[in-house]
Amino acid sequence: MQPQDGAAPPAIELRGIDKRFGAVHANRAVDLTVHRGTIHGIIGENGAGKSTLMAILHGFYQADAGTILVNGRAATIRDSRDAIRLGIEMVHQHFMLVERFTVLENVMLGAEGGPLLARGAARARAAQKRPGAAHGGTGAPPPPPARARAELKRLGEAYGLSVDPDARIDELPVGAQQRVEILKALYRGAEVLILDEPTGVLTPQEADDLFRVLRALRDQGRTVLLITHKLREIMAITDRVSVMRAGQMVAHRETAATSPEELGELMIGRRLAAPAPRPAPQAGPVLLQAEGLSVRDAAGVERVKQVSLSLRGGEVLGIAGVAGNGQGELLEALAGMRAPSAGRIFLRGQQVFPGRGFNAAALRRQGLAHVPEDRLKSGLLRRQSAAACAILGHQDDPSWRRFGLLSPRAIAAHAARLMQAYDVRPPDPALRSGLFSGGNQQKLILGREIERDPAVLLVGQPTRGVDIGGIDSIHQRILACRAAGKAVLVVSVELDEILALADRIVVMFDGRIMGELTLAEADERRLGLMMAGMTREEAA
């Protein structure tokens, strides 16, 4: 249905979108209008339904009810190919690139007959009819790679996205890989670009570069849909924001007329408590120490290079850095999940590496707890119940054994207590762990580890994929461990999180520590420069 007053129709309009997955009502009669040439934010808690809604728009799912309009016309989107034909593209949080291919090969992959090449062929046919317009004197259009290379150059110059077309993906930094994803979408003719948590793997400087690109896209008439849990980014880059809660669209706001506080309250349905002032650390003895630690991956590549650090009781040490710079391998080595290739590790004054029996189980018995970076890969068994996951790694504890055998009743009772204490929703010990939202999975793992009363707590990406309400709860638990005299190490790619929790901050780049800062010395600019490879002194 076209507007009656002659105004341009919205780029995207969703009317009454409804979607169920069994008993889960993911989207409930959702309405959304996205105007052409705007940056529109979609926010909501984990499980609010925003990702499902965008998946319907991009053809991964089909709605059970409702209508999708693109440029004012009803559209049927059965799969992502339909979406692409309608000019709708999605840049995923985890990039969909072939690492051993070049930029040019990735951009062309799957788009051989796409909208760009069809338009290019039409332009070439038109050019052939003009006198003197033959290509290379033959009158034939250039081959697809040459045409693609020329189009990549044009798009790169138009939107500030220039990338060497002959560079291999695995040789590019993360920020450049994201530019390739956007170039790929534009090459396919995207007029509506959906970005899912686009800054999760970027330095602050790379995030600023991305925002400049998004503004350029908007200013030249493209439409951007931004899914993010970072309210600061919503305020900085969007024109309009829509809020989802429990599968429903609960509010639409002009960004200039709202605030992070209002948006946070709309997301979780209650007023956010102001953060309590953090007392100065009461640093105790060194409880964990690494000296000259090096770690190699399964392929033999050195990921951690001569790292030394110490961690005291009653403090939080933050490790900042862009994902993939050795933090994950360092954390696994300190937790006993991966044997270092060199160096020494001391736990509570005792050398544990090199040493006999160096493994995660032995370190747990000596008072170390670990919340892994990838909760689905290393922290939970998705097909097992929450009750089973609540004792994972601690199944030998006699507390839930009867006559030497595991007692399902005792395990379920333990899980119920844990879920109540850590506000895990729904509080159902029998529910499969893979069916909980990311935030509730994280609270279950954190509760499991903290309730063992460890002396040292290692936490990887504590709030990755967690909504604003869950973030506050998890941060308070970590700070309570600090107040109780435990030594806490936090690895996070979120600078806001590092600054909110850490007393001291070390920054990793390419497997090395670029320097250490106190909280008073740290700011986003300096940390961002160190994350990009500058030393502490160079970033001053």
Q: For the segment 464-518, what is each residue's pLDDT rounded down to a tens digit?
A: 767 777 788 889 999 999 999 999 999 998 888 999 999 999 999 999 999 999 9
Residue 333 has pLDDT above 50, yes or no: yes
pLDDT for 130: 38
Task: Read off the pLDDT of residues 245-271 as tens digits, 9 standing for 90 and up.
Answer: 989 999 999 999 999 989 988 988 877
What stretch of H or E contains 346? strand 342-347
Return the pLDDT at 255: 97
Would the pLDDT of 104 be above 50? yes
Which of the listed ranges 229-238, 307-316, 524-533 does the model predict with the highest average pLDDT? Answer: 307-316
Q: Quote the pLDDT of residue 112.
A: 58
* DSSP H/E element including 43: strand 39-44
| Residue pointed to by tokens 């110059």 | 157
Q: Does the pLDDT at position 48 exceed 50? A: yes
- For the chain, which residues make up each domain, given as ranges? 1-87+191-273, 99-190, 286-377+453-531
Residue 320, φ and ψ in degrees, nearest 5: -105, 155
Task: Flag whether the pTM goes above 0.95.
Answer: no
Q: Which of 184-188, 219-223, 453-457 has the lowest mean pLDDT?
A: 184-188
* CA distances from residue 223 to 8, 67, 176, 471 in whole angstroms, order as listed: 13, 20, 21, 30
Domain 286-377+453-531 has CATH 3.40.50.300: yes
Res 169 pLDDT > 70: yes
Q: pLDDT-based confidence at 440, cuts 50/70/90?
A: confident
Using the predicted structure, report yes or no on whether residue 443 has a pLDDT greater than 60.
yes
- The overall average pLDDT reported for the chain is 87
Q: What sections of 60-159 are H helices per DSSP? A: 80-85, 103-108, 115-128, 144-159
pLDDT at 133 over 70: no
Average pLDDT over residues 89-101: 83
In terms of Cβ atoms closer than 10 Å to its own Cβ (0-12, 13-18, 19+), residue 178 is buried
Given a cut of 60, whether residue 462 has pLDDT beyond it is: yes
What are 106's two structure tokens? 């990735």
Q: Radius of gyration (Cα) for the chain, nearest Å?
A: 26
534 pLDDT exceeds 60?
yes
In the structure, what pLDDT confidence band is assigned to residue 360 with cuts at 50, 70 and 90?
A: very high
Predicted local distance difference test score (pLDDT) of residue 113 = 52
CB neighbours of 298 closer than 8 A, spacing ≥ 6? none
Q: What is the pLDDT of residue 273?
A: 66
Strand-pair partners of 227:
42, 196
Selection from 317, 328, 318 nearest residue 378 by Cα: 328
Lowest mean pLDDT among 65-74, 133-142, 210-219: 133-142
- Rounded to 5°, the CA angle 114-120-123 comes to 145
State percent of the chain over pLDDT 90: 58
> How long, in residues, is the chain?
540
Q: Hey, how many other C-beta atoms are within 10 angstroms of the C-beta on 537?
A: 8
pLDDT at 310 over 80: yes
- Residue 343's closest CA among 353, 334, 335, 351? 353
What does the alpha-carbon distance between residue 17 and residue 67 come to, in Å, rounded to a whole number? 7
Would you state the pLDDT for residue 275? 66
Asked if the domains 1-87+191-273 and 286-377+453-531 are classified in one and the same CATH topology, the answer is yes
Is the model's pLDDT at 78 over the cut of 80? Answer: yes
Higher-confidence residue of 404 and 446: namely: 446
Closest CA to 310 of 523, 534, 495, 504: 504
Give the CATH H-level superfamily of domain 1-87+191-273.
P-loop containing nucleotide triphosphate hydrolases (3.40.50.300)
Residue 221 and residue 209: Cα distance in Å, rounded? 19
| 300 CA to centre of own chain | 27
Q: What is the mean pLDDT of residues 72-101?
A: 89
Residues 211-230, mean pLDDT to the nearest whole number: 91
Instruction: Give 3-state DSSP helix, strand, coil % of the chain, rounded to 5.
Output: 35, 25, 40
Helix axes 115-128, 144-159, angle to 10 degrees: 110
Q: Among 24-33, 88-97, 181-190, 494-503, where is mean pLDDT lowest?
A: 88-97
Top pLDDT among 166 and 465 is at 166
Mean pLDDT check: name the lowest of 51-55, 124-128, 229-233, 306-310: 124-128
- Residues 49 and 53: their CA atoms lie apart, in Å, by 6
Can you tell me the mean pLDDT for 107-115? 67
Name the residue type at position 373. Answer: E
In the numeric block, the tokens 């964990």 are attached to 288
Look at residue 114 in the predicted model and tell me its pLDDT.
Answer: 46
Neighbouring-strand partners of residue 225 = 40, 194
